[in-house]
């Protein structure tokens, strides 16, 4: 699943591939990369234009404003992440161990965010320093995504895989935030994405202390 399929144009059924909405998508991709690398305010439309070999003015044929580009980039990013995690969860039996379902979700989230950094990572990286309007507009999609995780964790707590006295109101944002922050520091040099996913799963399920079971 690529961002390409996610943003053909607002309100357009995927019938004709259309001749040059291609440019539109190229702009979105370039913008996503730049926003992700340097932040929204620090990125100029000239840089976006140059990256797709256009003159700045031409960008305005495809988009009304810089902010509209941002909005679409954000939405595409979160839809992309959401779909990936949903797909990953669907690939694990619903009655599988919590550990396995959780690990699959974590791995999917990390993979999208760290592997396809430019495409979806933008959402995570740029979100904090945004004009409040943009934050508000993407709020709904963001919440829908969070709900996937909430359901996963609430279910685990109901089944006794997570202790009753763990406050999900703190745990949920903590664990999502912890994963998202990885976009800031992760490099393949530190380890693979599955390794990181395993570490997180281990922390959540067992902690980092040595197993004291077999004693």
202 binds a second copy (CB under 8 A): yes
- Please report, for residues 89, 113, 147, the alpha-carbon distance to residue 151 in angstroms, rounded to integers and kept in the order given: 12, 21, 6
Give the interface size with DNA as a residue count (CB under 7 A).
23
143 binds DNA (CB under 7 A): no
- Closest CB to a second copy among 115 and 206? 206
Q: Please count the CA atoms within 13 angstroms of the CA of 60 that sit on its side-chain side.
A: 6
Reference 62, options 103, 28, 18; nearest CA is 28
Residues belonging to the chain: 215
17 binds DNA (CB under 7 A): no
97 binds a second copy (CB under 8 A): no
- What are residue 9's phi and psi, to 5 degrees? 165, 150
DSSP code string of 174-185: HHHHHHHHHHHH
List the beta strands (DSSP E) in the chain.
Answer: none
- Closest CB to DNA among 66 and 101? 66
188 binds a second copy (CB under 8 A): no
Q: Residue 150: count other Cβ atoms within 10 Å of its Cβ.
A: 15
65 binds DNA (CB under 7 A): yes
Reference 56, options 43, 65, 45, 44; nearest CA is 45
Spatial neighbors of 118 by CB under 8 A, at least 6 apart, are: 29, 32, 33, 36
Using the rule CB under 8 A, give the single segment among 13-21, 50-58, 113-121, 207-215 that binds a second copy: 207-215
Q: Interaction with DNA in 158-177: which residues (CB under 7 A)?
A: none
Using the rule CB under 7 A, give the single segment among 39-47, 130-138, 178-186, 187-195 that binds DNA: 39-47
169 binds a second copy (CB under 8 A): yes
Query: Is the Cβ–Cβ distance between 32 and 122 less than 8 Å?
Result: yes
Q: How far is the CB of 208 from a second copy (least distance, A)?
A: 5
55 binds a second copy (CB under 8 A): no
Q: Residue 188: count other Cβ atoms within 10 Å of its Cβ.
A: 9
**Using CB distances below 5 to 8 A depending on partner kind, what does residue 56 bind out of DNA, a second copy, none?**
DNA
Using the rule CB under 7 A, give the single segment among 44-52, 80-88, 90-98, 125-133 that binds DNA: 44-52
Residues that bind a second copy (CB under 8 A): 38-39, 41-42, 125, 128-129, 160-164, 166-167, 169-171, 173-174, 177-178, 180-182, 184-186, 190-191, 195-196, 199-200, 202-213
């Amino acid at each position: 699943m690529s961002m390409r399929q996610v943003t053909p144009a607002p309100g357009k059924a995927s019938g004709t591939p259309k001749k040059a909405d291609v440019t539109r998508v190229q702009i979105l991709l370039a913008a996503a990369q730049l926003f992700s690398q340097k932040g929204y305010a620090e990125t100029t439309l000239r840089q976006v234009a140059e990256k797709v070999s256009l003159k700045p003015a031409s960008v305005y044929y495809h988009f009304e404003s810089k902010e509209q580009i941002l909005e679409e980039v954000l939405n595409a990013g979160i839809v992309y992440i959401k779909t990936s995690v949903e797909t990953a969860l669907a690939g694990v039996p619903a009655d599988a161990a919590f550990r396995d379902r959780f690990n699959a979700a974590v791995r999917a989230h990390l993979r999208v965010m760290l592997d396809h950094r430019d495409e979806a990572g933008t959402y995570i990286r740029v979100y904090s320093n945004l004009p409040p309007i943009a934050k508000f507009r993407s709020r709904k999609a963001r919440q829908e995504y969070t709900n996937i995780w909430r359901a996963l964790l609430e279910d685990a707590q109901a089944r006794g895989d997570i202790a009753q006295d763990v406050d999900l109101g703190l745990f949920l944002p903590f664990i999502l935030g912890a994963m998202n922050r990885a976009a800031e520091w992760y490099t393949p040099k530190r380890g693979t994405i599955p390794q990181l996913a395993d570490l997180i799963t281990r922390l959540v399920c067992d902690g980092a202390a040595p197993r004291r079971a077999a004693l």
